Structure 1
Amino acid sequence: MWRILGQSKSPSPEPYIHIGLLEARLEHYNEAIAAYRKAIAMQPADAALRLNLGLALFKSSQFAEAARSFESARKLFPPDSPDIQRIDILLGMAHYGLREYATAAPYLKKAAAKDPQNLELRLVLAHSCLWSKQYQCVLDVYREMLLLNPDSAEADMLAGEAQDGLKNRSGAIEQFRAAVKADPRLPEVHFGLGYLLWTQHQYEEAVSEFNAELANNPNHVQARVYLGDAHLQMSRPDLAQPVLEDVTSRDPSVWLAHLDLGIIYADSGRQKDALTEMQKAASIAPGEVNTHWRLGKLYRSMGRNEEAQAEFAKARSLHTAEDQDLLHKMSPAAAVADKPTGPGSP
Structure 2
Amino acid sequence: MHAEIALLPGDGIGPEVTAAAVSVLRSVARRHGHDFAFPEYDVGGIAIDRHGVPLPEATLQGCRRADAVLLGAVGGPKWSDPNAKVRPEQGLLALRKGLGLFANLRPVRPHPAALDASPIKPHLLTGVDIVVVRELTGGIYFGEKTRTADAASDLCSYSVVEIERVLRSAFRLARLRRGYLVSVDKANVLETSRLWRDVAARIGREEFPDVRLEHQLVDSMAMHLLARPREYDVIVTENMFGDILTDEASMLAGSLGLLPSASLGDGKAGLYEPIHGSAPDIAGKGIANPYATILSCALLLRHSLELHEEADCIERAVDGALNAQAFTGDLARGGRGLSTAAAAQAVIEQLQAHCYVAELRD
| Greater Rg over alpha carbons, structure | 1
Does TM-score exceed 0.5, indicating one fold? no
Task: Identify, as 1 or 2, the structure richer in strand.
Answer: 2
TM-score, scaled to structure 2:
0.23
Instruction: Specify which structure has the bigger relative contact order, considering alpha-carbon pairs within 8 angstroms and separated by 6 or more residues.
Output: 2
**Structure with the higher helix share, 1 or 2:** 1
TM-score by length of 1: 0.24
